[in-house]
Amino acid sequence: MLLRAFSVLVVAIGLSLAGGTLAPRPAWAQATAEEEANRRASVLQNTPEWAAKVQFGKRNTPAASLEARAIGSYARGCLAGAVALPVDGDTWQVMRLNRNRMWGHPDLIAYLESLAKSAPRVANWNGILVGDISQARGGPMLTGHASHQIGLDADIWLTPMPRGKLSREQRENMPATNMVRADWMDVNPAVWTPNHTKLVLHSARDRRVHRIFVNPAIKKAMCRDAGADRAGLNKVRPMWGHNFHFHIRMACPAGSENCQDQDPPPDGDGCGKELTDWLDTQYKAIFAPKKPGGGAPARPKPPMSVDALPAECRTVLVAR
Ligand SMILES: [Zn+2]
Q: What is the mean pLDDT of residues 7-24?
A: 38
Whole-number Å distance, alpha carbon 147 to ligand 1 midpoint, is 7
In the predicted structure, residue 150 carries a pLDDT above the cut 80: yes
Whole-number Å distance, alpha carbon 237 to ligand 1 midpoint, is 12
211: left (phi over 0), alpha (psi -120 to 50) or beta: beta
Whole-number Å distance, alpha carbon 154 to ligand 1 midpoint, is 6
The total of structural domains in the chain comes to 1
The burial class, CB within 10 Å (0-12 / 13-18 / 19+), for 214 is buried
DSSP 197: H
Whole-number Å distance, alpha carbon 213 to ligand 1 midpoint, is 8
Whole-number Å distance, alpha carbon 133 to ligand 1 midpoint, is 8
Whole-number Å distance, alpha carbon 155 to ligand 1 midpoint, is 5
Whole-number Å distance, alpha carbon 166 to ligand 1 midpoint, is 22
Q: Which domain holds residue 64?
A: 2-318
pLDDT of residue 294: 67
**Which of 3-7, 142-146, 173-177 is predicted most confidently?**
173-177
Whole-number Å distance, alpha carbon 293 to ligand 1 midpoint, is 31
Whole-number Å distance, alpha carbon 295 to ligand 1 midpoint, is 34
Ion ligand 1 — residues with CB < 5 Å: 155, 247
Whole-number Å distance, alpha carbon 146 to ligand 1 midpoint, is 9
For the residues of 236-253, what is the DSSP string, one character each?
A: EEE-SS-SSEEEEEEPPP
Nearest-angstrom CA–CA distance, 251 and 74: 10
**Which of 36-50, 197-211, 255-269 is predicted most confidently?**
197-211
Whole-number Å distance, alpha carbon 266 to ligand 1 midpoint, is 21
Whole-number Å distance, alpha carbon 241 to ligand 1 midpoint, is 9
pLDDT of residue 27: 54
Q: What is the mean pLDDT of residues 47-72?
A: 95
Nearest-angstrom CA–CA distance, 92 and 86: 9
pLDDT tens per residue across span 111-121: 999 999 999 99
Q: Mean pLDDT across the chain, nearest whole number?
A: 89
pLDDT of residue 29: 63
Report percent pLDDT > 70 for the chain: 90
**Which position has the higher pLDDT, 60 or 27?**
60
Instruction: Please list the alpha-helical segments (H only) found in 46-165.
Output: 52-57, 106-123
Whole-number Å distance, alpha carbon 246 to ligand 1 midpoint, is 7
Whole-number Å distance, alpha carbon 14 to ligand 1 midpoint, is 14
In the predicted structure, residue 8 carries a pLDDT above the cut 80: no
Of the candidate ranges 11-20, 25-34, 45-54, 173-182, the one whose mean pLDDT is the lowest: 11-20
pLDDT of residue 28: 58
Q: What pTM value is reported for the model?
A: 0.89
DSSP 138: -
Q: What is the CATH number of the domain that holds 43?
A: 3.30.1380.10
Whole-number Å distance, alpha carbon 268 to ligand 1 midpoint, is 24
Which of the four pLDDT bands, split at 50, 70 and 90, describes residue 221? very high
Q: What is the mean pLDDT of residues 250-270?
A: 94
- Give, in degrees to the nearest 5, the angle at Cα 22 between 19 and 23: 95
Whole-number Å distance, alpha carbon 68 to ligand 1 midpoint, is 21
